[in-house]
Amino acid sequence: MMAFEGLAERLQGTMQKIRGKGKVSEADVKEMMREVRLALLEADVNFKVVKQFVKKVSERSVGQEVMKSLTPGQQVIKVVKEELTELMGGEESRIGTAKRPPTVIMMVGLQGAGKTTTTGKLANLLRKKYNRKPLLVAADVYRPAAIKQLQTLGKQLDMPVFSLGDQESPVEIARQAIQKAKDEHLDYVLIDTAGRLHVDEELMGELKQIKELSSPEEIFLVVDAMTGQDAVTVAESFNEQLGVTGVVLTKLDGDTRGGAALSIRSVTGKPIKFVGMGEKLDALEQFHPERMASRILGMGDVLSLIEKAQTNVDEAKAKELEKKMRTMSFTFDDFLDQLGQVRSMGPLDELLKMLPGANKMKGLNNVQVDEKQLGRVEAIIRSMTAAEKQQPEIINSGRRKRIARGSGTTIQEVNRLLKQFEDMKKMMKQMSAMQQKGKKKGGMPKLPFM
């Protein structure tokens, strides 16, 4: 892993020096500010934005808040995080609605930012969450097969896509699309425009024409979260020329720190409305300023992890599981079930990465959760008969041989799993006994492979 150091780790050195002195000097604060600056620059926050930001934080820090604190390092982090959150923050990810339908939304941005995919995701969201009927408009006539891409997405979503091929001008396409939406009582028109450089006057002129003609309620600037220092120039330029209403940050499921978010927000003042979190069409999520702040500072994303667990783990099932564990009636069926639930949260090592400091922790930093091994475990269990899953104790050597053959594994592996399962059950019994004593009910127990 080439993970960059987070702010917390960066500040550790300075902290050690301060410790024992009992007093924080202005020079110490200055040194800490240098670390803050480095952390932000490494996260791709634009250097001008960093400069302003550090100045602000520095003022607050030199004041009472940090210098008088017993834990100046923690205080700096707190101040930085608060300021970051505030800078990025506040507004909700709502989508505007025109007084008279249809509401037009234009999607604009550089090549490869993810406009077409985001258009599909947004349409999906509009229908799912707001019960709207969107029309997708294929106005990218330049990139080969861009129209086809939108049509395919339309088919996957079972939604209408308007296209006039790639010979008609995008302005004309937009005009006719809006007419069609009116005729067919579709209430949202999402115009997918071609990617373009913000310095391309001709193509920017085309966007202005579309804007004039369609009076869009929203113009979303789609930006790749991995963008570096130039994010500022791009956002500024699109905003000046078109008057962007919001930003969609894409590819945030990657491992970028995403400092572009802060840059864009602070130069345009326009809210980040959504973030793209995956390749599937439902992977468009609300923007959470606080989480983004943690991420930029390399402090992990515990909230997202909790949310993931909550949306993916069935509460009732978890309770039932707990009861089974207490009564020792936990079977291989339950085990499979739980395995499935955990895995539905995403690849395990990705989950691990969300834990703050996970990349620093001994033993965890290089954990490659072996998905293959999990697959084998699953195969072994699936090769058992229903009776065997319910009562593992009936699995004798003949059955073991059969299971190994059926799952393409070895008898040793089957043995190991059976042994682990037994151990786990014992462990669970102990755990629940302890919990009973402490009168504290736990949620999900740990699986042996975690």
Partner 1 sequence: MSFFKKLKDKFSGSQEQEQTAEKYTEGLKKSRSGFSEKMNNLFARYRKIDEDFFEELEEILIGADVGFDTVMELIDELKMEVKRRNTNEPEALREIITEKFVEIYAGEGETSSELNIQDGLSVILFVGVNGVGKTTTIGKLAHQFKSEGKKVMLAAGDTFRAGAIEQLEVWGERTGVDVIKQAEGSDPAAVMYDAVRAAKSRGADILLCDTAGRLQNKVNLMNELQKVKRVIEREIPDAPHEVLLVVDATTGQNALVQAKTFKEATDVSGIILTKLDGTAKGGIVLAIRKELGVPVKFVGLGEKMDDLQPFDAEKYAYGLFAQAFEQREAEPEEETAE
Q: Please give the DSSP secondary-structure letter assigned to residue 218.
A: E
C-alpha to C-alpha distance for 25 and 202, rounded to whole angstroms: 56
Minimum Å distance from CB 255 to partner 1? Answer: 4
* Nearer to partner 1 among residue 9 and residue 253 (C-beta): 253
- For residues 279 and 154, the answer to whether their CB atoms sit within 8 Å is no
SS3 of 249, please?
A: strand
- For residues 219 and 119, the answer to whether their CB atoms sit within 8 Å is no
* Nearer to partner 1 among residue 148 and residue 319 (C-beta): 148
Residues that bind partner 1 (CB under 8 A): 2, 4, 38, 41-44, 46-47, 110-114, 116-117, 120, 143-153, 156, 197-200, 224, 226-231, 233-234, 251, 253-257, 259-260, 279, 347, 349-350, 353, 368, 371
SS3 of 293, please?
A: helix
* Nearer to partner 1 among residue 254 and residue 443 (C-beta): 254
Minimum Å distance from CB 204 to partner 1? Answer: 12
* Nearer to partner 1 among residue 46 and residue 294 (C-beta): 46
Minimum Å distance from CB 52 to partner 1? Answer: 13
- For residues 146 and 194, the answer to whether their CB atoms sit within 8 Å is yes
Minimum Å distance from CB 109 to partner 1? Answer: 10
* Nearer to partner 1 among residue 75 and residue 263 (C-beta): 263
SS3 of 65, please?
A: helix
Question: Which of 191, 260, 273, 200 is closest to 232 using CA atoms?
Answer: 260
* Nearer to partner 1 among residue 72 and residue 276 (C-beta): 276
* Nearer to partner 1 among residue 79 and residue 277 (C-beta): 277
Region for residue 154 given its phi and psi (left: phi exceeds 0; alpha: psi -120 to 50; beta: otherwise): alpha
Minimum Å distance from CB 233 to partner 1? Answer: 6
Of all helices (H) and strands (E), which one includes residue 304? helix 302-312
C-alpha to C-alpha distance for 445 and 60, rounded to whole angstroms: 43
C-alpha dihedral, 280 to 282 to 287 to 292, nearest 10°: -30
Minimum Å distance from CB 31 to partner 1? Answer: 16
- For residues 292 and 259, the answer to whether their CB atoms sit within 8 Å is no
Minimum Å distance from CB 47 to partner 1? Answer: 5
* Nearer to partner 1 among residue 114 and residue 392 (C-beta): 114
Backbone dihedral angles phi then psi of residue 126, each to the nearest 5 degrees: -60, -40
Minimum Å distance from CB 220 to partner 1? Answer: 16
Cα–Cα separations (whole angstroms), residue 405 to 42, 143, 379, 400, 408 = 51, 51, 11, 9, 5
C-alpha to C-alpha distance for 265 and 399, rounded to whole angstroms: 62
